Amino acid sequence: MGIMNCKRGLILGLANEYSLAWGVAQALHREGAELAVSFQGERQRDRVLDLAGRLEISKIFECDVSNYDAIDQMFNEIEKDWDSIDFILHAIGYSDRNELRGRFIHTSLNNFLTTMNVSVFSLTAIASRAHRMMKRGGSLLTISYFGAEKALPNYNIMGVAKAALEATVRYLALDLGPEGIRVNAISAGPIKTVAATGIGDFRQIMQYCKNASPLRRNVSIDDVGNVATYLLSHWSDGVTGEIHHVDAGFHAVAMPSDFDFDNAPFDEDSYNENA
Ligand code: NAD
């Protein structure tokens, strides 16, 4: 008996076997969930069909979340077979990769609006449609990043979007709580995926996080999948409005424990001036 037995839900954001959504789908499947998946466009179809087949998923929908009619159509299709739904994973983000490098001040209005629409508003658009099917309560989960809380180079407009996404989690939690619907986010550490490699100097960001994290490693899609399954299951029935870090502890420290104090540059004169 898995912890997701008798639960069914929809996964948005599966592109390939590197996607965080794939880590979550596998963990949910292992725990007995019945799944439906959506993908963004024709280019992803064959790969997503293959992945879905491996988990015996037959409900597969094409849905660009910037198209609200497509969201409606998808839920209409789901409702034909399922009279209710227990959970949704929203693992979607997009921004023009040319603006995920260089100076933040060069963010264009057009890309600001697109990034906010696809990466942030889509959660509310999905929630407004899904909550009607969550008759026995439910769980919504999205994926954020530490760039929502602290600024880092290159993440730029995506950091602003993730901050808005985390605020959206809290407002949806407040709004949907009386219906027994919980809304949470995982703030994942850097993982090599198609979306992530669009961020400038991503390899170095990953290495930096590994070196500075208490656990001295990067996290995997399986790490994210296991925590996501807990947040989508009844094991987290008392948890909502939460941003749960799955980042090997990176967010919790200001300096790595093996910082090389002996060899770090040190200016004796300026230290004495400030003493
Ligand atoms: P990914 O490229 O595998 O997944 C991104 C998904 O977003 C893809 O399936 C893509 O098709 C989908 N998408 C983009 N625009 C869409 C649209 N208009 N309509 C429908 N779908 C759309 O990359 P990922 O890293 O698995 O990203 C999943 C989520 O995790 C994103 O929100 C990302 O910001 C977040 N995240 C990733 C990392 C990381 O390091 N990989 C860390 C923290 C948070």
Using 50, 70 and 90 to split pLDDT, how confident is the model at 274? confident
Predicted confidence band at 1 (pLDDT cuts at 50, 70, 90)?
confident
Q: How many helices (H) and strands (E) does the chain have?
A: 9, 7
Mutate to test the pocket of ligand 1, among 12, 40, 141, 150 (most ligand atoms within 8 A of CB): 40
237-253 pLDDT, tens digit per residue, is 999 999 999 999 999 99
Of 5, 4, 26, 2, the C-alpha closest to 222 is: 26
What are the tokens at 25? 């789908």
Kindly list the protein residues whose Cβ atom lies closer than 6 A to any atom of ligand 1.
Answer: 13-15, 18-21, 40, 64-66, 91-94, 118, 143-145, 188, 190-191, 193-196
Q: What is the Cα 142 distance to its own chain's centre?
A: 5
223 CB contacts (<8 Å, ≥6 apart)? 23, 246
| CA angle (126, 131, 136) in 5-degree steps | 145
Residues with Cβ within 8 Å of 154's Cβ and at least 6 positions away in sequence, in order, are: 100, 101, 102, 199, 200, 201, 202, 205
pLDDT by residue (tens digit) across 89-135?
999 999 999 999 999 999 999 999 999 999 999 999 999 999 999 99
